[in-house]
């Protein structure tokens, strides 16, 4: 049996690499906050929340207001705790949904989602 969450994160990382992003860090823990993927494209640093589903429940529904607040807080903590290169011009929060069905998957990337 596959771990849907880990598999979804791996698929999301591979997708982002294919789209020209550089993986900066994965599964960053900042106290009780976590960031699934920190990536960079050009002068933009992107915090990515990955949600995977294999059932009838919508992964989009699991990105609640509370979850968005946690991701924003994690991003702020990340920026405060790391030396960020001067050439970066912007920061963004994205969501990637990976929906598994019958041995296949669909990936949706919501850029600047919140």
Which domain CATH number covers 88?
Answer: 3.40.1350.10
Tokens of 24: 């900066």
H or E element at residue 43: none
Whole-number pLDDT of residue 58: 64
| Helix%, strand%, coil% for the chain, nearest 5 | 30, 40, 30
User: Which stretches of the chain are DSSP H helices?
Assistant: 4-18, 65-81
What is the reported pLDDT for 114? 81
- State which residues form the domain around 54: 4-110
Strands of 44-53's sheet in order across = 22-30, 33-41, 44-53, 90-101, 104-110
How many domains would you assign to the chain? Answer: 1
Q: Report the residue count for the chain.
A: 114
pLDDT means over runs of 10, the chain (114 residues): 86 98 96 94 96 73 82 94 89 94 90 90
pTM comes to 0.90
């Amino acid at each position: 049996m596959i771990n849907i969450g880990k598999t979804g994160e791996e698929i999301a990382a591979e997708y982002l690499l294919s789209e020209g992003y550089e993986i900066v860090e994965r599964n960053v823990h900042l106290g009780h906050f976590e960031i699934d993927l920190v990536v960079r494209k050009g002068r933009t640093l992107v915090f990515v929340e990955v949600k995977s589903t294999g059932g009838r429940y919508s992964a989009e529904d699991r990105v609640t207001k509370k979850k968005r607040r946690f991701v924003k807080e994690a991003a702020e903590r990340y920026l405060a705790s790391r030396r960020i290169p001067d050439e970066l011009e912007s920061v963004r929060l994205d969501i990637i949904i990976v929906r598994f069905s019958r041995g296949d998957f669909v990936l949706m990337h919501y850029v600047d989602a919140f």
